[in-house]
Amino acid sequence: MLKIVKQRLSTTPTESPKQLFKYLMRQCEKLPKGPKEHYKFQIKQSFKQHVEETDLVRIQEIMKRSHEDAAWILKKYAPDKN
């Protein structure tokens, strides 16, 4: 039973909303100044908006989407290697 409880629920680098918040804020540091400020504000607002969420499935969906969005944004602002 203990092994089942200790299994990771996802393959993302964060398992809790607090870890996700910290992860996303660190990822923002990789962005240029203007977008960095914008996305930090967006992250804070999103967390405030969903603070009352209790449905675990919905929380997992939000976290998964947050990781996908972060990857897309970082790719969008990444300097071209050409």
The pTM of this model reads 0.74
Assign 4 a pLDDT band (cuts: 50, 70, 90): very low
The per-residue pLDDT for range 17-76, each reduced to its tens digit, is 899 999 999 999 999 999 999 999 999 999 999 989 999 999 999 999 999 999 999 999
Handedness of CA 26, 27, 33, 36 (dihedral sign): negative
Residue with tokens 């009352």: 52
pLDDT of 79 over the 80 cut: no
